[in-house]
Amino acid sequence: MSHKRMPKRKAAIAVGGVAALGAAALLLPNANASQDKTSQAAGTARTLKAADASDLAAQLQKLLGGAFAGSYYDGVGRQLVVNVVNGDDNVIAQAEKAGATVRQVDNSTADLRAAAGTLKKEATVPGTAWAVDPRTNKVVVTADSSVTGARWNQVESTVKSLGPGMATLKKSAGTFRTFVSGGDAIFSQVQGGNVRCSLGFNVTASDGSPAFLTAGHCGVAAKQWSDSATGQPLATVDQATFPGNDFSLVKYDDPNTQAPSEVNTGDGQTVQITQAADATVGETVLRMGSTTGLHDGQVTGLDATVNFQSETDPNGVDTVNGLIQTNVCAEPGDSGGSLFTQDGGAVGLTSGGSGDCTSGGETFFQPVTAALQATGATLGAGGAAGAGAGDQAGAGAGDQAGTADPSAGDQAGAGDQSGAADPSAGDQSGTGEQAGAGDQSGAGDQSAGAGDPSAAAGDQSGAAQHQGTGRRHHRGNGS
């Protein structure tokens, strides 16, 4: 993106940061091979890769109908666990024959969805999040450190009204915020300073032009984007959605820009992105961002709802629905960066969360499948179409496909596999103190650099730190 006179140039936005050893190890050539050589587990349950487990969950959701109450991936046994409630014995037998471990639970998907709906109506206050945990068959609600006094009482009483067998409440030490300030670094100049985010995945827009996906709160904050803090704009926002959802489609200004479908993970390694993939609770995922580089962790919940404090309205809340919840860390500047699988599945775009990559953190991601479906874009030069992506969407496909509709919050947490929120979610919230993180909190905060010079400085310091990597670009990346 940075060599404007080249007749054919590759996207100039590369992921920066030093790869974490654990995440780097996952990308070694033999990693996939070792996964493929596991033996058949005891009983009829099949050993599966996470992607295959997601496909099986989608099939079993249709088979079980109203008896389906969520599912998750057991990463240790490499098996799909499916929850059923009041299921027909013959249908359950078919699910077991298909290769899943089936267990009886008390709460149906409808019950859990209704509980999430009650939370939306009665406990939507800044600093709260909730999702269904298929492992406990409950809705897990997290309140961050900003939820005190009357607001805490409001949330606590709502959770209690749902009953102990339906929901649990966790308190976190920090605050939920968006991670504006990571993929490749992208920048935009706004009044008072720079906005810094990360490129998510290169795509082809519905009109055939090269483009990329990033966070919606980045696209709402600024219209034009560059690959350096002081460079000329090289891409322009075409669509941006935040709150409700959190994705942007940004088109490269030069129609000859080459935007290969790959993630540059550093140290000369890339991961080819071949398809859009829906997350499965329990699977291992990798995140790339320009601030912190490569990190890995597990998906802890699907269809999560997060209520960010609005930066444009002191009394407002920016609610985002249908998010993927993980225990992967992130920091300011990582917003919009790519969440992917080691076998090339594009999973999510970094939205927000809490914590940092020193003490740990909880991060939420916009599902790529929903972003593709809403924008009509396809991956890279035409790989997995957005519309098709919804079809691949594991058990939660229907729910996630609805994420383009802000009302999807009612599903949040209910989604079939919606696993929940690792209650520690908010625990990582802890970093109001992250370099200008405050200004990263919402769409408006990105222009926060104007009102808070230190905030802008935080962004710029991160930018300066990774400016070089941003120019290692030329390898368009999924991130």
pLDDT tens profile 119-150: 999 999 999 999 989 999 999 998 988 899 99
Q: What is the DSSP letter of 204?
A: E
Q: Mean pLDDT score of the chain, rounded to an integer?
A: 75
Least confident of 25-29, 108-112, 330-334: 25-29
Among the candidates 46, 79, 104, a domain finishes at 104
What pLDDT, on the 0 to 100 scale, is given for residue 126? 92
Based on the domain organization, do 428 and 284 belong to the same domain?
yes
The mean pLDDT of 252-274, rounded to a whole number, is: 89
- DSSP-H helix ranges across 410-452: 448-451
Question: The dihedral of CA 46, 50, 55, 58: what is its sign?
Answer: positive
Residue 169 confidence class, pLDDT cut points 50, 70, 90:
very high
121 within a domain of the structure (yes/no): no
Based on the domain organization, do 338 and 444 belong to the same domain?
yes
Contact 243, 312 (CB under 8 A): no
The mean pLDDT of 265-293, rounded to a whole number, is: 90
Domain residues for 60? Answer: 31-104
Q: What is the DSSP letter of 424?
A: G
What pLDDT, on the 0 to 100 scale, is given for residue 354? 83
Residues paired with 201 in a beta bridge:
213
Q: Work out the angle at residue 202's Cα, subtended by the Cα atoms of residues 318 and 248, and round it to the nearest 5 degrees.
A: 20
165 within a domain of the structure (yes/no): no
- DSSP-H helix ranges across 79-182: 89-97, 109-122, 149-162
Number of folded domains in the chain?
2
Based on the domain organization, do 75 and 193 belong to the same domain?
no
Question: What contacts 136, CB < 8 A, 6 or more positions away?
Answer: 168, 420
Q: How far apart are CA 323 and CA 353, in angstroms?
A: 11
Question: What contacts 316, CB < 8 A, 6 or more positions away?
Answer: 126, 309, 310
Q: Is the pLDDT of residue 273 over 60?
A: yes
What pLDDT, on the 0 to 100 scale, is given for residue 249? 98
Residues paired with 229 in a beta bridge:
none
- pLDDT tens digits, 61-85: 999 998 999 999 998 899 999 999 9
Which of 85-89, 257-261, 348-352, 463-467 is most confident?
348-352
Among the candidates 57, 74, 104, a domain finishes at 104
Question: What contacts 29, CB < 8 A, 6 or more positions away?
Answer: none
Q: What is the DSSP letter of 124?
A: -
What pLDDT, on the 0 to 100 scale, is given for residue 286? 96
The mean pLDDT of 237-259, rounded to a whole number, is: 95
376 within a domain of the structure (yes/no): yes
Residue 80 belongs to a domain with what CATH number? 3.30.300
Among the candidates 86, 104, 122, a domain finishes at 104
Least confident of 86-90, 92-96, 253-257, 460-464: 460-464
In percent, the amount of the chain with pLDDT more than 70 equals: 68
298 within a domain of the structure (yes/no): yes
What pLDDT, on the 0 to 100 scale, is given for residue 360? 80
Amino acid at position 373, single letter:
Q
Residue 380 confidence class, pLDDT cut points 50, 70, 90:
low
What pLDDT, on the 0 to 100 scale, is given for residue 455? 35
Q: Is the pLDDT of residue 408 over 90?
A: no
Based on the domain organization, do 59 and 184 belong to the same domain?
no
Based on the domain organization, do 247 and 354 belong to the same domain?
yes
Known catalytic residues? 217, 246, 335
130 within a domain of the structure (yes/no): no
Higher pLDDT, 308 or 190: 308
Q: What angle do the packed helices 89-97 and 50-64 form, to 10 degrees?
A: 160
Residue 23 confidence class, pLDDT cut points 50, 70, 90:
low
What pLDDT, on the 0 to 100 scale, is given for residue 471? 31
Residue 178 confidence class, pLDDT cut points 50, 70, 90:
confident
What pLDDT, on the 0 to 100 scale, is given for residue 179? 65
- The closest alpha carbon to 290, from 336, 325, 249, belongs to 336
120 within a domain of the structure (yes/no): no
Dihedral of CA atoms 310, 313, 314, 319 in degrees, nearest 10, equals -30
Contact 410, 131 (CB under 8 A): no
What pLDDT, on the 0 to 100 scale, is given for residue 381? 53
Least confident of 120-124, 179-183, 218-222, 364-368: 179-183
Based on the domain organization, do 335 and 191 belong to the same domain?
yes
Based on the domain organization, do 80 and 217 belong to the same domain?
no
- pLDDT tens digits, 412-450: 333 344 333 343 333 333 333 333 333 333 333 333 333
- pLDDT tens digits, 352-377: 988 889 888 789 999 999 999 999 99
